[in-house]
Amino acid sequence: MPNRNTLYATTLVDELARAGLRHVCLAPGSRNTPLVLAFARHPAIQVSSHLDERSAAFFALGVALATDTPAAVVCTSGSAAANFFPAIVEAHQSGVPLLALTADRPHELRDSGANQTIDQVKMFGGFVRWSVDAALPEATPPAVVLRNLRTLAARAMAIASGSPRGVVHINLPFRSPLEPTPVTGDLTAAPADARERADTLPFTAMSRAAAVAPSQPVVAELAALLRRHERGVIVCGPRCPDGAFGDLISELGRRTGYPVLADGISGVRFGYPDVLGAYETFLFGAHTMPAPELVVRFGAVPTSRWLNQYLDAAAPPVVIHVRASGVWADDSHRVSHFVAADECETIRALLDHLPPRDTGWAQPFRDAEARAWSALDDALATGTYFDAAAVYDVVDLLPPGSSLFTGNSLPIRHLDQFGRPGAKRIHAHASRGASGIDGNISTALGIGAGRPDAPLAAIVGDITFYHDMNGLLAVRRCGVPVTIVLLNNDGGGIFHRLPINQFEPEFTRYFLTPHGLDFAHAARLYGLEYVRVTERDAFRRAFRASITARTATIIELRTDARLDLERRGAVMKSARR
């Protein structure tokens, strides 16, 4: 190692790789030079280069979403680090594992007026699980300092991927020279008792306890409640566990006789045909479905407005929420039993105490589900094509095993209402932690990088697209083919759902904010294919061609927000009739 900075950065990066880090997003700068070179030269880590720190952080968020393992993002000092903040907030709120490595000026330049220097120590506040201001590299550090770097890496990876998952921030100050130029007197190799382990073994092997099952008394109590109450529902909100959870939740529904209502990004909407997904349609307006006596919840708060209102109005005496992370997610404060235990282990334990039961309670829900999809099919056959219908078609046309990212505002609500459940497995994601529209394109492309063998589609609105157009650079730069469905209603169409729509001219000027942008120019700027459509047949042809060939394409559907809302309302009323 030619100098102290190279030794420090190489030691840290090597140990991060040994602890399991496999992807890092780098943004250019000067102060982060030692880190950039260490990551770029490590054979076990895939590097994505980004010009914009905000896009880099959201791209890393997408990688971590797709892989459920920590991804890292690296930047230089100053306001560059502040651009990580929106992605860090989303990662914290969604429980996504992320490492934020920010290079910094040495301590003597802090609060000195030095250029590109801000206070970066614990700058992300309570949105990180752990924040560390690392030691300044020394010329001849004692062995314990280098061992500290290795244990720091192990601890950072373990905390980010622990329970609950989240963000770890490591702030790393460096003095010049930042490049790998020799410095007389600097240590060039670690002492024997601070070197890496043999082969690729981690310096510190961090292990977590196996999935924690609830205690036997808790299982007995929950099972007794389920047996006692025949009128119940199972609700799977966003970001339920992967793996065996979908099959187990289907079996729990069969054993209890409860309908399973699965959010569009729950992880069990697509691939488990027994679940129901049309509840936003058949619960619209007056609650025509019978009220449950018991609710079993998994995951975060559901996306659906009408589902949440239905559950709150029912005021069931028993609401059981099972969540391994232990993070509270009950904005109506109806939960009577909160179980901080592994979801799969909890279901397995319950199944041992639940004989099969079918009282006919779930049949009205199944009938309403069938009527809702029948009404939608009829609506699609005639009339003007509208934005929610395009979301229905995307789900229908995606190949099995595809990745789907849905932007916030209207698209995620359309997916939750019009994404038809079925046997085809689709990995659906959205940024519902903080529900922001910033960085959505970058997050989608990060998901594509984390799952490179799967076709990738992203559905976003025009304002969401505008917010992260610079994220499109990663399509070519990082080699991520994506089919982007751009629902363009020329402004914030979701605000038509709010009472403010009655107040003009302020509503149009300050809420809808029509922009009149021609997004064909963005496609040309970033080298993407572009198709503009207005009709269903044209949309389906364009989408099928792009997703099959895996070309990078923007398919823009021009719609009218008021007409879209009217068409959606007509479908919902037809289903209820």
pLDDT in tens, 231-240: 999 999 999 9
Q: How confident is the model at residue 287 (pLDDT cuts 50, 70, 90)?
A: low
At 104, is the secondary structure helix, strand, or coil?
A: strand
Least confident of 118-122, 194-198, 296-300: 194-198
Residue 49 has pLDDT above 80, yes or no: yes
pLDDT of residue 40: 97
The mean pLDDT of 65-94, rounded to a whole number, is: 97
Residue 59 has pLDDT above 70, yes or no: yes
Gap between the Cα atoms of 268 and 261, Å rounded: 10
Q: How confident is the model at residue 507 (pLDDT cuts 50, 70, 90)?
A: confident
pLDDT of residue 481: 97
pLDDT of residue 260: 98
Q: Is residue 340 within 8 Å of 324, Cβ to Cβ?
A: yes
Residue 564 has pLDDT above 90, yes or no: no
Residue 294 has pLDDT above 90, yes or no: yes
Gap between the Cα atoms of 532 and 541, Å rounded: 12
The mean pLDDT of 491-495, rounded to a whole number, is: 76
Q: Is residue 96 within 8 Å of 135, Cβ to Cβ?
A: no
Residue 331 has pLDDT above 60, yes or no: yes
Residue 1 has pLDDT above 80, yes or no: no
Domains defined along the chain, listed by start: 4-175 (3.40.50.970), 216-364 (3.40.50.1220), 383-576 (3.40.50.970)
The mean pLDDT of 325-330, rounded to a whole number, is: 94
Average pLDDT, the chain: 93
pLDDT of residue 248: 97
pTM reported for the whole predicted model: 0.94
Gap between the Cα atoms of 520 and 528, Å rounded: 9
Residue 286 has pLDDT above 60, yes or no: no
The mean pLDDT of 355-361, rounded to a whole number, is: 92
* Percentage with pLDDT > 70 across the chain: 100
The CA angle 119-122-124, to the nearest 5 degrees, is: 100
The mean pLDDT of 555-561, rounded to a whole number, is: 92
The mean pLDDT of 261-274, rounded to a whole number, is: 96
Query: Which tokens in the block code for residue 462?
Result: 């025009």
Residue 36 has pLDDT above 90, yes or no: yes
pLDDT of residue 428: 98
Gap between the Cα atoms of 389 and 203, Å rounded: 53
pLDDT of residue 273: 85
Least confident of 194-208, 211-225, 433-447: 194-208
pLDDT of residue 135: 93
DSSP string, 186-241: ---S--GGGSPPSTT--SS----PPPPPPPHHHHHHHHHHHHH-SSEEEEE-SS--
Residue 494 has pLDDT above 80, yes or no: no
pLDDT of residue 563: 84
In tens, the pLDDT along 383-403 reads 789 999 999 999 999 999 999
Gap between the Cα atoms of 444 and 541, Å rounded: 22
The mean pLDDT of 45-59, rounded to a whole number, is: 97
Q: How confident is the model at residue 316 (pLDDT cuts 50, 70, 90)?
A: very high
